[in-house]
Chains A and B, each alone.
Chain A
Amino acid sequence: MSWATHDLEPYIIQRHLGRWVSFSAVLIGSWGPDVFTKWFVYGISIGGLELQAGDPSDFHRSWPGAGFTHSLAFGVAVAAVVFLLTRSRMWSLGLMVGIWAHALSDVLDTKGTMLLFPFSTMRIHFDAWAYAGEAGRFLDAAAYFSSLGFAWDGFWLAMVLLNWRVLTLDYFRAEVLPRDPFWKLVGKVFPESAQLVLYRGAFFYGTTRWIAWLIWAHVLHSYAFDLSWGGPFWITGAT
């Protein structure tokens, strides 16, 4: 799985496809596949009742399970439903592209995603880093930020920084605000200055947690870096 990548990719997608997609929809699409699944992967305690998938990685990425959320067809289905309900091309296309970006990013770990579901339940995976969701949130974070996963996040951070204009007020006013009705709704509650902070929020969240997890894993704790393919060596990635 990827971490800050899902927060940062939408800015680059908006930069190139902004005429056709809503940034907000791309961002929600990019977060969507994990919003409905991660809590059950890591486990959650509700009133003393512990809820967790019997096989977290299979639940997250396979079928039977919620792995269909990480497929190209799921993006198309969500887009179709949203288009029928709202008639908004920007929102339906944005959600589809966001979900696709998420599913395509996640093929890089050892578990991979069922990109071609429902036509095939085969998971496509490139094994660049270990899928360690089964080890719990913190060990998962430690493994990811000790492997090529952190470099993948770093690549997307660099991409946004190279395209830093997407974060400016001028860009927000010219390219984001007028094209997406979502911001008109937000504008009924928040002034433009607050809308700009909200727009930059995912960049802030992705960047700061990328830095914080690195410090947590390698300064506060002493997890070994392993930037070899499939790393880190000290954890067995789910397949």
Chain B
Amino acid sequence: MERAPIGRLIDRKFLAGLAPYLVAGGVYITVGVFVPEALLSWVEGIGFVLLAVWGIPALVRFLRG
């Protein structure tokens, strides 16, 4: 696979793709620090990121038509 310089990837599109993960990560870390039980299940962790990064945006897009 051709390797692109990292600078070429730090553009709007890349940041737009990264942003939902950063927001979801911030929420998950905050919840986890105060409710550490949330950090113990990979099913919940992966379910959370799927919901936060894909499920909710997809639902919003659907509702907006």
Contact = CB atoms under 8 A, between A and B. Distances in A.
Interface of A: 7, 31, 137-138, 141, 165, 169-171, 174-175, 190, 193-194, 197-198, 200-202, 204-205, 207-209, 211-213, 215-216, 219-220
B39 A209 contact: yes
B33 interface: yes
Interface of B: 1, 3, 17, 21, 24-25, 28-29, 32-34, 36, 39-40, 42, 45-46, 49-50, 53-55, 58
Given A174-B1, A204-B49, A208-B45, 15 more contacts: A138-B36, A165-B1, A171-B1, A194-B50, A194-B55, A194-B58, A197-B54, A201-B46, A201-B50, A202-B46, A204-B24, A205-B46, A208-B25, A209-B32, A212-B36
A204 B45 contact: yes
Nearest to B26: A208
Contacts of B34: 220
A137 B24 CA distance: 24
Contacts of A193: 54, 58
8 contacts: A175-B1, A193-B54, A194-B58, A205-B42, A205-B45, A205-B46, A209-B45, A219-B33
A187 to B, nearest CB: 14
A171 B4 CA distance: 12
B46 to A, nearest CB: 4
